Structure 1
């Protein structure tokens, strides 16, 4: 399949914006747990898009919407939260960055896509680039945390492949609404169980939630699902390397965080891996 540059650029917007989650959460949502932020990010955005589209799933699409919402949003974010809780942030990000590698083999299994050696090499280069970007020396490894990070990567990789395989019979915004709403609803009992007290939001909190929900949720997931339908699965997954890259660059620009030589090398490797894919 020939890659259309406009499809590539539009899809790349999603993981690039997802990279702002860290700085928005730390600067605007102090006191909110990551799981609560994930629920407040997905559910209101999904309900808003449902009001706009005014169409609910029918037949088998009820089940598929909840499967995709679970894989792409609730299971992915829950397991990523567990990984981030049990591992240093850099280790968690590096473990989660194996998702493009999972996507290569899942696409071969479920879509019949060929396993290209160059795609595997590109994914490994990207993982190395992310490690240089965010991994601290002598970082501790917790087996349960590593397992959760790997499972999170596998969940979203599978969700992306199934999104392409099933091809929804509705407009893109409606399809995005189904997944965000389903994923958000599945997160509600998790939040009530582990984080029942939600802080009273301030103006800064509301601005942060509006950014994560409307821009980092509704807009980006619509662009992401559009890209999954138009790009090869391995190409779309490789763009996820932009997320930690954006997070590091935003920290450098807005938080005066230093950019080391190893991180600069990581930037080159991440960009190179996407170009190879």
Structure 2
């Protein structure tokens, strides 16, 4: 029996293509723009936004952008997509945004970004149960190395840790990891593009945040021109545009390829710091290279590693149940 190639069920592969292959560069590049834009959140929050209003920042980032998307697409959920959009909006927007801004306020940007770098590992773990996809050792190793690389870049003796900030960062990262896996599991309904899906979730998240914001925080006493520009940036580039690109990429890439792209967020935050006059030490430079290598390596399939081949088969009569079976010596074990 000829050796078979291992690919994720969602990956497109032409017959005879090599075992290790790069995904379409344009798809990866466009998807990567989303976490790159999110990497500006830390600088914008600390430099431009009024402190003490993480819920208000999340509300302004979500609701106007979501309503604009609905006005453009004029498509509403149907059937079970009402509750699915509600779940995704609660995870990806209503939970993530306030926790993200809270972490950015209470922690140095690098520390907050490092907590977000744990997302590829969380996604890999959640994908086992939700998508029935068992990540390879290749994915786990590069996920850990990516987290270590980001840690070398942004953590140091001067990094101060705040318990509430750390819990907020981990909570936001977990919520987005769950949202990413569910988005991949449910896909998109017919007639709903990435902009539509982004609009649904941003609107749901904004609607959920509105009463909480008014009850807990209220509106900042003063919003100057810098804060207005920061809110506009976060709602447009960091909100509607970034999430449209992200949901488009999730639909085209496997979770093993899309999740590590979030490593760009702390790397962009670090690059902004360098542009503002910061410098990198030797360990930080090595960490930067390691994190970038982990990000790029995730875009390739598992190398041969001495196996004659493997294939994806369905077993047990369960629709959607996918398991990997190794093929050795012409037999499926």
TM-score by length of 1: 0.91
1:206 matched to 2:228: yes
Change (3 A) 1:40 1:203: same
Which among 236, 241, 246 is matched to residue 268 of structure 2?
246
Equivalent position of 1:158 in the other structure: 178
Query: Is the 1:98–1:127 contact (alpha carbons within 8 Å) kept by the matching residues of 2?
Result: yes
Change (3 A) 1:45 1:193: same
Paired residues, number: 276
Q: CA deviation at 1:146?
A: 4.1
**Secondary structure of 1:229 counterpart:** helix
Equivalent position of 1:257 in the other structure: 278
Change (3 A) 1:80 1:213: closer
Task: Choose 1 or 2 for highest CA Rg.
Answer: 2
Which structure: greater strand fraction? Answer: 2
Q: Distance in 2 between matches of 1:155 and 1:271?
A: 24
Q: CA deviation at 1:87?
A: 5.0
Query: Is the 1:32–1:199 contact (alpha carbons within 8 Å) kept by the matching residues of 2?
Result: no
Q: Render the CA deviation track for 1:53-82: whole Å, top value 9, x for unaligned.
A: 112222211111111011111212333445
User: In angstroms, what is the RMSD of aligned CA positions?
Assistant: 2.1
Q: CA deviation at 1:84?
A: 4.8
Which among 20, 25, 28 is matched to residue 40 of structure 2?
20
1:4 matched to 2:47: no
Query: Structure 1 residue runs of 4+, over 6 Å off?
Result: none
1:185 matched to 2:207: yes
Equivalent position of 2:312 in the other structure: none
Q: Render the CA deviation track for 1:238-273: whole Å, top value 9, x for unaligned.
A: 0000001001101211x2122222221221011111
Contiguous gaps of at least 5 residues in structure 1: none
Equivalent position of 1:104 in the other structure: 124
Which among 97, 109, 121 is matched to residue 141 of structure 2?
121
Q: Render the CA deviation track for 1:6-54: whole Å, top value 9, x for unaligned.
A: 1100100000111111222333324463332221111110111111111
Which structure: greater helix fraction? Answer: 1
Q: Render the CA deviation track for 1:131-151: whole Å, top value 9, x for unaligned.
A: 112113274556665444333
TM alignment of 1:219-230, pairs within 5 A: 219-230=241-252
Query: Is the 1:130–1:245 contact (alpha carbons within 8 Å) kept by the matching residues of 2?
Result: yes
Q: Render the CA deviation track for 1:87-142: whole Å, top value 9, x for unaligned.
A: 55443332332110011121121112232101111111111111112113274556
Query: Is the 2:110–2:270 contact (alpha carbons within 8 Å) kept by the matching residues of 1?
Result: no
Q: CA deviation at 1:155?
A: 1.3
Contiguous gaps of at least 5 residues in structure 2: 1-10, 13-22, 299-333
Q: Distance in 2 between matches of 1:191 and 1:10?
A: 33
Q: Render the CA deviation track for 1:168-198: whole Å, top value 9, x for unaligned.
A: 2212211110001111122223322332132
TM-score by length of 2: 0.76
Q: Distance in 2 between matches of 1:79 and 1:205?
A: 19
1:194 matched to 2:223: no
Which among 58, 74, 83 is matched to residue 63 of structure 1?
83
Change (3 A) 1:214 1:88: closer
